[in-house]
Amino acid sequence: MLPSVTQSCYTRGMRALSLCNHLQRRGSSGNYYFRVRIPSDILEVYAPKKEIVFSLKTKDPKEAKARCRVEAVRIDQEFDEHRRRLELERQQQEQLAQAQGVGVASSPAAPLTDLDSIPDYELDRLAVLYLHEVLAHDEQERTAGSSEARKEWEENQEFLRQLHEQKGMPFTPESFPTHGVGLSPSTIQRKRERARLFLQAGGSYLASGDISIIHDRALAFLAAHDLKVEDQVGSLAFRRLCLSLIQKEMDAQEAILKRLDGQWIPTPPASQSVAYSGSQSATAGLVIGAPVVLQVNGQGQIVQAQTQEASMIPSEDNPCLSTIWESYLKERKPAPSTIKNFEGAVRRFIELVGDLPVKAVTKSHFRQYKDALLKFPVRLPHSVRKKSIQQVVAFVEKERQKGTAFELLNSKTINNKYLGALKAILAHAVDNGFIDDNPANQIRVTHDADKHGDNEPATLPYTEEELNVLFSSSFFVPGQECKFKKRMKRDAVLDYRWLPIVALFTGARLEEIGQLDVADVMEEDGVKFLFIHADQSTERRLKNKSSRRKVPIHPRLVELGFLEFVKLRSKQGAIKLFSTLKEMGGARKDKRTDAFSKWWRRYTEAIGVKTGKQKTFHSFRHTSKRALRNAGVDPSLTDAIHGHTNKSISAHYGRDKDGMGYALPVLLEAISRATMDRVIIHNPEGN
């Protein structure tokens, strides 16, 4: 803790600041400017400047006064931190001179720790430590001697002299009042005004994420605790800490106001606020580095909570959640699309509860996460896309009170995408012995519709009528004009026609079809089939192990000319069967059907087949499933055709070298029973 440093450069001047005497209107533009004299004790910092002047960028006097108040708080903070830094440098020079004077070899300064290298829970602890120091400094000011009061008085007199001089008015200095030890009336007024100004302005800075009001103070605070920030612009840790410090500064100023009103708010003991280095502690049994929580009781008194238990201390056997996530990635090697979804779920969870050591993660954290997700929008407004989950939820709640409607995440998305991702990652922690039980288990969203069993399925199969509307529409009938194919080359038209037809007669997933190579059309035991499989060399992935399968080519596909289509692609030298589909870039190299998927949604909406969220391309898979079921095909055969998991132990017996449980002639007989003979489909060849 640094010794008390006089913070004010003006006492009654602070009242002048609040009355916006630092407000000036300049030039032909009529814009208002903020102007303040630089205090004499920190002139060296700003040399050769003697005052700070900048535009408030408004001509409105009311708006200018409001901005003036906000800037007053920021400038006051800036001056204060320069004083602290200069005092710290002075102390270090004195200590060095003293050491050299007695012949002690001065050791080199310890390297500063980069803020981005420390865990998130330490950021929370640093914010708590900051609150202690602000209140301790306020307490020290009350015991300061009259020499500091005289220095403050002299600065104020100089400020008033310059102010009178600027206005062409005579100035008569006042006599120095004798106050003894303690705060002078002007200091009390300054502290009260400063507290009110910060409480008034702090909320708007928090709401916008603007850290300028605390930026310099945060850097000085970190330097005092052997911490540094390499990248002040790009450091998320620094931004997060600054936002926390704004909140703690507001808490401190609220406590200071109560002190000024005669209600004593105790300063939390310094012995329970541990420096980051963790080398010393005056409190027996205190866990160094563990977060310390300060609470305010019903009387407004700050009380000290107990230090968290050892589960809060990260170690080799108790890694942070982010480390578990990295381990999961290295060991499981999930698909890029899975990484993208899981990464978002992990990031939002850590935003909410912190990057906790895995042993400290509890069911309570997941209930908190679930409750926040229930208020989270499906589509984020542009203004909050980079905000934390707490800020997004607060924004949505505020906008909803104004009458703005938001579509919120549904139970399936929360359970499968967000909670499911964390559940899988923590299952990895269980498998590796870091924790005994998965705290995410049994935590899920249950809507009333789920409880009563009357919830609608997420996807519905296409009806026979819808299929006939679809395949008799202009795009699928050669020779008919269609605006949806005007800019498409013939090969692209063929690909886009064959994709849904293949889906209808195989029940395969869209991406499984889109990733097929020409070489994946094979023959075995006299049966032509599609070999759906993963290929690490080309980053082809499957949803799961059971998705690897051989799907016989339906007789209707042969009739429609599918094998001729395959020969055409082979003759063209194409590697991919649907050669016009393009891979996605970046982390989605395994995705080839995104553009088609978007086109499909637009086209089916245009012809009236897609009338809601339940009818998508995936409806073909449901259509095939229903057709096979209605044809009396054994469920195990249907699962083999569609690549669904059969969890029985016996289902894994008797498989061939490719993992297939049924011979292809058996599967061909089964798939042929779903004739779809009342669905009229034209040969895709043609213009």
551: pLDDT strictly greater than 90:
yes
> Considering 234, 250, 268, which residue would you say is the last residue of a domain?
268
**The domain spanning residue 654 has which CATH number?**
1.10.443.10
Inside any domain, residue 1:
no
- Token pair, residue 673, equals 């029973």
Q: What is the mean pLDDT of the chain?
A: 78
Same domain, residue pair 634 and 506: yes
Q: Which of 417, 452, 487 is the last residue of a domain?
A: 452
Per-residue pLDDT tens digits for 478-521: 888 888 888 889 999 999 999 999 999 999 999 999 999 999 99
Confidence of residue 77 (pLDDT cuts 50, 70, 90): confident
CA–CA separation, 449 vs 458, rounded Å? 13
Query: Does residue 364 sit in the same domain as residue 424?
Result: yes
Contact by Cβ (8 Å): 469, 611: no
Please indicate whether residue 76 or residue 417 has the higher confidence score (pLDDT).
417
Q: Are residues 417 and 493 in the same domain?
A: no
Assess if residue 401 is contained within a domain.
no
Which residues, listed in sequence order, are joined to residue 120 by a DSSP beta bridge? none
Residue 205 and residue 351 in one domain = no
Give the number of residues written for the chain.
Answer: 687
Residue 298, pLDDT > 50, answer no
- Least Cα distance to 376 among 354, 356, 347, 355 occurs for 347
Give the per-residue pLDDT at 296. Answer: 43
**597-628 pLDDT per residue, tens:** 999 999 999 998 876 788 999 999 999 999 99
Domain assignment present for residue 3? The answer is no
Is 57 in the same domain as 206?
A: yes
Tokens of 254: 């609220």
* Same-domain check for residues 145 and 124: yes
Better pLDDT: 306 or 391: 391
Q: Which amino acid is at 677?
A: D
Task: Reply yes or no on whether the pLDDT at 68 is more than 90.
Answer: no
What does the pLDDT look like over 564-581, one tens digit per residue? 999 999 999 999 999 999
What's 343's domain CATH number? 1.10.150
Assigned domain for 344 exists: yes
Pair of tokens at residue 485: 């194919």
pLDDT at 566: 96
Q: How many CA atoms lie within 13 A of 192 on its CB side?
A: 14
Q: Do residue 223 and residue 325 come from a single domain?
A: no
Task: Give me the domain span that covers residue 18.
Answer: 12-99+112-268
And the tokens for 137?
């400094």
pLDDT digits (tens, 9 = 90+) for 206-216: 888 888 888 88
On whether both 520 and 649 belong to a single domain, the answer is: yes
446 and 480 both lie in a single domain: no
Is 533 within the bounds of a domain? yes
Can you give the pLDDT at residue 602?
Answer: 92
For range 201-210, the mean pLDDT: 82
Same-domain check for residues 150 and 170: yes
Better pLDDT: 310 or 336: 336
In percent, how much of the chain has pLDDT > 70? 76
Q: What is the β-pairing status of strands 521-524 and 549-552?
A: unpaired
* Same-domain status, 606 and 516: yes
When pLDDT is averaged across residues 48-60 and rounded to a whole number, the result is 85
Q: Is residue 414 part of a domain?
A: yes
Query: What do you get for the CA distance between the two ends of the chain, in Å?
Result: 81
Query: Comparing 284 with 266, which gets the higher pLDDT?
Result: 266
Residue 70 covered by a domain: yes
Is 80 exceeded by the pLDDT of residue 362? yes
Dihedrals phi, psi of 441, to nearest 5 degrees: -60, 145
Residue with structure tokens 């000319």? 561
Q: Kindly state the average pLDDT of the residues 39-51.
A: 82
Same domain, yes or no: 535 and 495: yes
Q: Given the DSSP bridges, would you call strands 527-532 and 549-552 parallel, antiparallel or unpaired?
A: antiparallel
Tokens representing residue 526 in the block: 């006299």
Structure-model confidence comparison of residues 401 and 463, the more confident one: 463
Residue 417 counted as domain residue: yes
Would you say 214 and 81 are in contact if contact means Cβ atoms under 8 Å apart?
no
- Distances from the Cα of 18 to the Cαs of 69, 158, 189, in angstroms? 6, 19, 11
Which of 430, 452, 474 is the C-terminal boundary of a domain? 452
In which band, very low, low, confident or very high, does the pLDDT at 294 lie, cut at 50, 70 and 90?
A: very low
Does the pLDDT value for residue 410 go beyond 50?
yes
Cα dihedral 633, 636, 642, 644 sign: positive
Count structural domains, the chain. 3
